[in-house]
Every structure is written in structure tokens, then in C-alpha cells.
């Protein structure tokens, strides 16, 4: 069949139809385009609707993620587990559209330690103070022991083989969705539950969101538990350190006391050692002095023997020689009248001899000391010296005990005797003062003269070579022997003072020859 | 393709030929709207033919139709083409008048 060529009007009409068809395509009014090989279906509106819905879903999901992100700040900002569970329960409602949500933590042996619930005003509250436990094997154990999350419509919840119904007083449920709170190893540590979806049933997206919330809550929970454990450990450590510090303080105080005690002991020990050292030094000095005195004493005895020998030879020998010559004259015969003279001469010589023997005897051992006591004996001694020296010799005594020990009486007498002898020999004194005075338990003796005096250093230089120094040593030894002391002070041209201190000591009953009374007088 | 038919009075009748793509939404709506248009007319506006391009694509091509839904209102001497789901009943009526007016 021959094909007719279309007219201009026909072409124009078809062109207009084509333009209208294209306009219909642009306006989304067509379903399909018919091609030469196939029919192409156009579902632009559906696609637009799908795109719009996808965009809305995307916006909704973004909003949900933003909400989850906002909630994450609240969750991570919590500082205690109770607050965290409350925030999580509220967040579960907000994110899933549930009207009722609860959150429990510390699952152990079928019971939660801490819990929180969030509900809208249309959901009744549980009885106050009611604590529900979760028995093993029930529906809740699905999320705790078997799965990480679940989502059940109300019908499926009630037909679930593990659904045991609700305990008396429990808030009624309408559908149920749960997610596990877990430890770091994934083991269950609690759960978040949601019920009463505001519109329809919970979706898979709700379940995913609840799982994310549970994961975030678990993380925050572990962080808080770690912080609690850390704070507990810090508290324990702080207590340990405080206890150790306290123990250390006590130990320090004890150590300080011990150090003080030891320091005191060391000081006492040092003092004792020093005293011992001084005592040893003193003993050594005394031993040295005693040795020295012993040598001096031997020399003194030798000197006394020599003097006594010389005295006997010079005095007694002369008197006896003269007496023998007078007796030989008598024996040879005398003219009458001379015999009587001779007898008188011999009588005088015998008297002189007796006097010498008495003086000598007194020198060796004053007999008056035992008979009259130290005061009377010293007084006699002073009188003799006064006669021989020809100057003033004063004796002053006060409260001298009458029953002084004989050794002390002898020591005092010898010291006075030696002092007076020295004065007679060397001092060239005009006045001598002898004082014997008791003060308390001590008898103080001083013998002072206004003679030429001497330099004590000269005496020390001549130590051992002169009789004077020897005499002073003997006087010191005598004082020491009876527990006393002796010293001498002198200066050239300014006289000499000899002093002795003798302890009175215990009285001796009946000892001493003197009258039994306190002497107090001057002579 | 069926030829236009004649009325009892011998008047040439108008043919409504609707090209649809299966049960796609616009096509479905166009069928429904065209049916409603016919039902609301006191006299029969003409014969209706529905061509599914999935089944008879060549018919569409022969009629110069390349999109669906497309309605061709035609008589022996005139032809009008409408695109879309025919939700505008007035548009159909205007096309019908034009075609009938010849």
C-alpha cells in the first residue's frame, strides 16, 4: 500500500500533539513511553513520592541520631548511677515513642539493685516501694541471658512461651521492647525496657535505637562503676596513707623520746666519764702527792733524827759533860766551902737538863694534849712561843668541841706547832694570830703573821730541797689524813697565812684529855 | 483497528480510543475517569476502545501514540488527542464537542 505523504496541516497537527505529549511527560501525567522496541514505564510520581518519603525518613533518622547524640551528652554527664538510669529511661521514651520505659542495673541473682522508670501521664504508676524481681526463665531473661535485644507486639508478647504474665500491682504493658545493658565482656548487667508505643507497634529502627541507647548507657555505667571503684580505691589508699602517716608520727615521737633519752644517757655517761677522769686524775695526783709526801716524810724523819741527835749532843751532851766535870771535881775533892757551890752548880745543870728533856719530850709528843685537850695545849704552845719570840702572839678560839677525835686534835696541834716554828725560824714577825673557830661541822684554823712572807713559786721551785717546803707538805698531809685540807698564802713583805679546815666529825666519848665543854675564849 | 460506527439514526458516532499502560496509576485513573464521563452523560457519547500498549504496542505506534495514558477522540472527519489521567472532565467534553462539531 502506497503511503500518503501527510499534508502540512497534518504535520502541524501532529507536531502540536507531540508538544502536548512532551508537556504531559514534563508534568508527570503519563505512565509509559511507547518505543519502537519496548514500552518504557514512567513512575515519576511514585519515584518522587518515594524520594520524598526517603527524604522524610532520612530527616527523621537524622533527627533521631541528633536526639541520640544530645542524649549521649546527658548520659555521659551523669555522675551517679541513679541519675544515669533516670536519664536512660527518659531517653528510651523520647527516642522510641514509648509511653513507658524503665531501666535497671546491677542484675544479680534475678534482681536489680537500682532502677528507674519513665511514664507519661496516661500510664498508671506502680505501688510505691514495690520492688519487682526477675525470675529466671521469664521473658525478661531473653534480653538478659539469650539476646541483646528483642521487640514484641502485644499479641506476640502475650503468646510468647516465656510470658508468665505480670505480677500483681505491676503497670500493664502494651507490647514490649528491651535491650541489654552489658559489662565490657558483653555479659548482662541490666536492661532497658519500653512499652506502650504511642502509635502502632515498635519498629526495627526503634529496636536499633534502643540498642544504641543501651550500649551508650552501658559505657557510661562502666565508666561510673570504674570511677566509683577508683574513688573507693583512692579513699582506701588515702586511709592507708593517713594511717601510715599517723603510725609514722607516733614512731617519730617515740624515736624523738628515745633519742632524747639516749642523748640524756650519753650526756650522763659523758659527765660520769668526765667525773671519773677527773677523779682518776685527782687520785693519780694524790698518789703522786702521797708518794712525794712519803719520800718527804722519810727525809723529815731523818731531819728530825738528825736534829734530835744534834740537840741531844749539843744540849744534853753539854749539860751532861758539864755535870760529869762538876761531879769529877767533887770526886777529886774540893776545898771546904766549894762543895756546896759545886752541888748548887750541878743542881742547876740537872734542872736545865730536866727542862731540856721535858721540852724535848713535849716536842716529840705533847703530853698536855691528852690531858688538857687541844685548846689548852695550843695555849701552852703559844705561851712558849711568845716567851721565845718576844713578840705578840694571840690565840683566839670559838666553839671548839671538847671531845674532838685525838687524831684531829694531834693534827691541829702539829699544824699550829709547825706554823709557829716556821714563824720563829723565818718570819721575823712582830705579831702572830692563831684562830681556831668552828663553823657548822668544820673547824677552821688560821695562823697569820706580819713577817717577811715569801714567794710561793720560790717554794715550789725549791720543792724537796728545803725543810720549809717539807714542813708545809707535812702540814697538808696531816690535814688530809683526817679528812681536811691545808693551804698557805704568802707574799714577800706581806706576811703569811696558813689555813686548815678539819671536819668536826663524830664526837668521841671520853676521848681527848680536855674538859668536856665547848671552848670559846681568847688567849 | 475498529472503524467508527454509526448510530441508529445513521449519524456517525464518535470513538473514544484510550491507550493505557497496564494498570499503571495514571492509566488506571484515566480508565476510571473516562468510564465516569460516559456514565454521567445522558446519551452515549460514543464507542470506547481501550488499548493496552503492553499488549499492543504496535497499535499505539500505528496511531502515532508514544505516551500513555492518551485518549483519542475521533470521528470520521475529526480527531482530538488528550494526555493524562483525564481528571478534567470538561476537557473531555470540549474535545467531544469539537469532534462532534466536525
Binary contact (B66, A21; C-beta < 8 A): yes
Residues of chain B with Cβ-Cβ distance to A12 below 8 Å are none
What is the mean pLDDT of the segment spanning A408-427?
Answer: 90
The confidence score (pLDDT) of residue A512 equals 42
Find cell 513512575 and name the residue: A43
Residues of chain A with Cβ-Cβ distance to B54 below 8 Å are 39
pLDDT at A277 over 50: yes
Binary contact (B26, A30; C-beta < 8 A): yes
- More confident site: A337 or A175: A175
The confidence score (pLDDT) of residue A50 equals 85
Residues of chain A with Cβ-Cβ distance to B64 below 8 Å are 14, 17
pLDDT at A93 over 60: yes
Q: Which of residues 34-63 of A touch B (CB under 8 A)?
A: 34-36, 38-39, 41, 43, 45-46
pLDDT at A83 over 70: yes
Phi and psi, residue A113, nearest 5°: -80, -40
The confidence score (pLDDT) of residue A236 equals 92
pLDDT at A472 over 90: no
Residues of chain A with Cβ-Cβ distance to B66 below 8 Å are 21, 33-35
What is the mean pLDDT of the segment spanning A198-220?
Answer: 92
C-alpha cell at B47: 464507542
What is the mean pLDDT of the segment spanning A432-447?
Answer: 95
Using one digit for the tens of pLDDT, what is the confidence trace for A236-263? 999 999 999 999 999 999 999 999 999 9
What is the mean pLDDT of the segment spanning A135-163?
Answer: 82
CA-closest candidate to residue A223, choices A179, A277, A166, A183: A183
Rounded to the nearest angstrom, the minimum Cα separation between B9 and chain A is 31
CB atoms within 10 A of CB A173: 18
The confidence score (pLDDT) of residue A520 equals 47
Interface mutation target, options A9, A27, A30, chain B, most CBs of B under 10 Å:
A30
- More confident site: A131 or A194: A194
pLDDT at A482 over 70: yes
Residue in chain B closest to A34 (alpha carbons) equals: B66
What is the mean pLDDT of the segment spanning A418-441?
Answer: 92
A23–B contact, CB cutoff 8 A: yes
B21, B64, B85: residue with CB nearest A32: B21
Residues of chain A with Cβ-Cβ distance to B67 below 8 Å are 21, 24-25, 30, 32-34
The confidence score (pLDDT) of residue A511 equals 44
3-state per-residue secondary structure call for A328-384: HHHHCCCCCCHHHHHHHHHHHHHHHHHHHHHHHHHHHCCHHHHHHCHHHHHHHHHHH
Reported as a pLDDT band with limits 50, 70 and 90, residue B38 is confident
The confidence score (pLDDT) of residue A425 equals 87
pLDDT at A399 over 50: yes
Residues of chain A with Cβ-Cβ distance to B33 below 8 Å are none
Whether the CA torsion A91, A95, A101, A102 is positive or negative: it is negative
Reported as a pLDDT band with limits 50, 70 and 90, residue A137 is low
A33, A41, A46: residue with CB nearest B66: A33
What is the mean pLDDT of the segment spanning A157-168?
Answer: 85
Asked whether the beta carbons of A495 and A449 are under 8 A apart, the reply is yes
Instruction: Please report, to the nearest 10 degrees, the dihedral formed by the alpha carbons of residues A384, A385, A390, A396 taken in order.
Output: -100
Rounded to the nearest angstrom, the minimum Cα separation between B10 and chain A is 28
Mean of the per-residue pLDDT values of chain A: 84
A17–B contact, CB cutoff 8 A: yes
The confidence score (pLDDT) of residue A300 equals 73
Asked whether the beta carbons of A219 and A210 are under 8 A apart, the reply is no
Reported as a pLDDT band with limits 50, 70 and 90, residue A508 is low
Buried/exposed code over A111-135 (b: 16+ C-beta within 10 A; e: otherwise):
ebeebbbbbeeebeebeeeeebebe
The confidence score (pLDDT) of residue A179 equals 93
- More confident site: A499 or A343: A499
The confidence score (pLDDT) of residue B52 equals 95
What is the mean pLDDT of the segment spanning A11-15?
Answer: 86
The confidence score (pLDDT) of residue B20 equals 95
What is the mean pLDDT of the segment spanning A434-438?
Answer: 95
Residue in chain B closest to A27 (alpha carbons) equals: B84
Reported as a pLDDT band with limits 50, 70 and 90, residue A495 is very high
Residues of chain B with Cβ-Cβ distance to A44 below 8 Å are none
pLDDT at A388 over 80: yes
Interface mutation target, options B19, B26, B51, B52, chain A, most CBs of A under 10 Å:
B26
pLDDT at A139 over 90: no
Binary contact (B26, A14; C-beta < 8 A): no
What is the mean pLDDT of the segment spanning A500-516?
Answer: 63
The confidence score (pLDDT) of residue A140 equals 78
Measured CA distances, A386 to A365, A372, A420, A432, A493 (Å): 20, 20, 10, 9, 22
The confidence score (pLDDT) of residue A3 equals 67
pLDDT at A340 over 90: no
The confidence score (pLDDT) of residue A444 equals 96
Cis geometry, peptide bond prior to residue B69 (ω within 30 degrees of 0): yes
The confidence score (pLDDT) of residue B1 equals 41
Close Cβ partners of A310 (under 8 Å, ≥ 6 residues apart): none
The confidence score (pLDDT) of residue A178 equals 92
The confidence score (pLDDT) of residue A437 equals 95
- More confident site: B29 or B9: B29
Rounded to the nearest angstrom, the minimum Cα separation between B96 and chain A is 17
Rounded to the nearest angstrom, the minimum Cα separation between B91 and chain A is 14
Reported as a pLDDT band with limits 50, 70 and 90, residue B81 is very high
Reported as a pLDDT band with limits 50, 70 and 90, residue A506 is low
pLDDT at A522 over 60: no
What is the mean pLDDT of the segment spanning B56-82?
Answer: 90
pLDDT at A136 over 70: no
pLDDT at A148 over 90: no
What is the mean pLDDT of the segment spanning A105-130?
Answer: 76
C-alpha cell at A9: 496541516
The confidence score (pLDDT) of residue A307 equals 77
The confidence score (pLDDT) of residue A455 equals 87
pLDDT at A466 over 80: no
The confidence score (pLDDT) of residue A513 equals 41
Rounded to the nearest angstrom, the minimum Cα separation between B68 and chain A is 5
The confidence score (pLDDT) of residue A380 equals 87
Q: What percent of chain B has pLDDT over 70?
A: 85
Reported as a pLDDT band with limits 50, 70 and 90, residue A467 is low
Using one digit for the tens of pLDDT, what is the confidence trace for A25-41? 888 888 899 888 888 88
Q: What percent of chain A has pLDDT over 70?
A: 90
- As a whole number of angstroms, the distance between CA A180 and CA A194 comes to 12
- As a whole number of angstroms, the distance between CA A223 and CA A287 comes to 90
Rounded to the nearest angstrom, the minimum Cα separation between A58 and chain B is 26
pLDDT at A390 over 90: no
Amino acid at each position: 500500500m502506497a503511503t500518503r505523504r501527510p499534508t502540512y496541516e497534518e504535520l502541524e497537527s501532529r507536531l502540536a500533539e507531540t508538544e502536548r505529549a512532551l508537556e504531559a511527560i514534563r508534568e508527570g501525567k503519563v505512565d509509559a513511553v511507547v518505543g519502537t522496541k519496548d514500552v518504557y514505564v514512567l513512575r515519576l510520581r511514585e519515584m518522587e513520592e518515594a524520594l520524598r518519603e526517603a527524604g522524610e525518613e532520612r530527616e527523621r533518622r537524622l533527627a533521631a541520631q541528633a536526639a541520640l547524640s544530645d542524649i549521649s551528652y546527658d548520659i555521659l554527664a551523669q555522675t551517679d548511677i541513679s541519675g544515669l538510669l533516670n536519664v536512660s529511661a527518659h531517653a528510651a521514651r523520647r527516642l522510641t515513642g514509648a509511653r513507658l520505659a524503665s531501666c535497671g542495673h546491677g542484675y544479680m541473682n534475678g534482681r536489680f539493685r537500682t532502677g528507674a522508670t519513665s511514664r507519661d501521664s496516661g500510664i498508671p504508676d506502680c505501688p510505691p516501694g514495690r520492688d519487682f524481681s526477675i525470675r529466671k526463665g521469664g521473658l525478661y531473661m531473653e534480653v538478659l541471658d539469650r539476646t541483646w535485644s528483642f521487640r514484641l507486639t502485644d499479641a506476640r508478647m502475650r503468646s510468647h512461651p516465656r510470658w508468665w504474665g505480670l505480677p500483681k500491682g505491676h503497670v500493664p504493658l502494651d507490647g514490649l521492647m528491651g535491650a541489654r545493658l552489658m559489662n565490657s565482656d558483653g555479659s548482662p548487667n541490666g536492661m532497658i525496657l519500653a512499652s506502650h508505643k504511642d502509635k502502632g507497634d515498635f519498629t526495627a529502627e526503634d529496636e536499633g535505637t534502643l540498642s544504641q541507647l543501651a550500649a551508650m548507657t552501658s559505657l557510661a555505667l562502666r565508666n561510673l562503676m570504674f570511677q566509683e571503684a577508683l574513688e573507693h580505691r583512692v579513699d582506701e589508699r588515702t586511709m592507708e596513707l593517713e594511717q601510715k602517716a599517723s603510725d609514722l608520727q607516733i614512731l617519730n615521737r617515740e624515736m624523738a623520746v628515745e633519742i632524747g633519752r639516749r642523748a640524756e644517757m650519753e650526756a650522763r655517761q659523758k659527765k660520769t666519764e668526765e667525773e671519773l677522769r677527773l677523779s682518776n686524775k685527782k687520785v693519780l695526783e694524790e698518789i703522786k702527792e702521797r708518794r712525794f709526801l712519803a719520800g718527804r716524810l722519810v727525809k723529815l724523819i731523818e731531819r728530825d733524827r738528825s736534829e734530835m741527835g744534834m740537840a741531844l749532843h749539843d744540849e744534853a751532851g753539854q749539860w751532861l759533860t758539864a755535870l760529869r766535870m762538876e761531879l769529877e771535881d767533887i770526886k777529886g775533892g774540893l776545898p771546904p766551902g766549894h762543895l756546896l757551890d759545886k752541888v748548887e752548880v750541878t743542881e742547876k745543870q740537872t734542872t736545865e737538863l730536866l727542862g731540856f728533856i721535858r721540852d724535848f719530850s713535849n716536842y716529840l709528843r705533847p703530853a698536855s694534849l691528852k690531858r688538857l685537850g687541844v685548846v689548852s695545849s695550843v695555849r701552852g704552845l703559844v705561851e712558849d712561843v711568845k716567851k721565845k719570840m718576844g713578840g705578840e702572839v694571840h690565840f683566839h678560839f670559838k666553839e671548839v668541841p671538847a671531845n674532838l677525835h685525838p687524831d684531829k686534835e694531834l693534827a691541829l696541834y702539829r699544824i699550829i706547832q709547825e706554823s709557829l716554828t716556821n714563824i720563829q725560824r723565818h718570819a721575823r714577825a712582830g705579831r702572830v694570830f692563831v684562830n681556831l673557830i668552828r663553823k657548822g661541822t668544820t673547824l677552821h684554823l688560821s695562823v697569820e703573821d706580819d713577817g717577811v712572807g715569801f714567794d710561793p713559786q720560790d717554794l715550789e721551785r725549791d720543792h724537796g730541797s728545803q725543810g720549809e717546803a717539807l714542813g708545809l707538805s707535812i702540814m697538808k698531809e696531816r690535814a688530809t689524813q683526817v679528812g681536811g685540807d691545808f693551804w698557805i698564802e704568802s707574799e714577800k713583805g706581806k706576811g703569811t697565812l696558813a689555813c686548815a679546815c678539819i671536819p668536826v666529825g663524830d664526837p668521841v666519848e671520853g676521848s681527848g684529855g680536855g674538859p668536856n665543854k665547848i671552848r670559846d675564849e681568847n688567849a | 483497528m475498529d472503524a467508527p460506527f454509526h448510530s441508529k439514526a445513521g449519524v456517525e458516532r464518535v470513538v473514544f480510543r484510550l491507550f493505557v499502560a497496564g494498570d499503571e496509576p495514571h492509566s488506571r485513573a484515566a480508565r476510571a475517569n473516562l468510564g465516569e464521563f460516559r456514565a454521567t452523560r445522558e446519551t452515549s457519547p460514543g464507542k470506547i476502545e481501550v488499548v493496552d500498549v503492553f499488549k499492543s504496542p504496535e497499535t499505539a505506534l500505528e496511531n502515532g501514540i508514544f505516551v500513555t495514558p492518551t485518549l483519542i477522540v475521533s470521528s470520521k472527519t475529526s480527531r482530538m488527542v488528550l494526555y493524562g489521567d483525564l481528571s478534567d472532565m470538561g476537557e473531555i467534553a470540549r474535545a467531544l464537542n469539537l469532534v462532534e462539531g466536525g
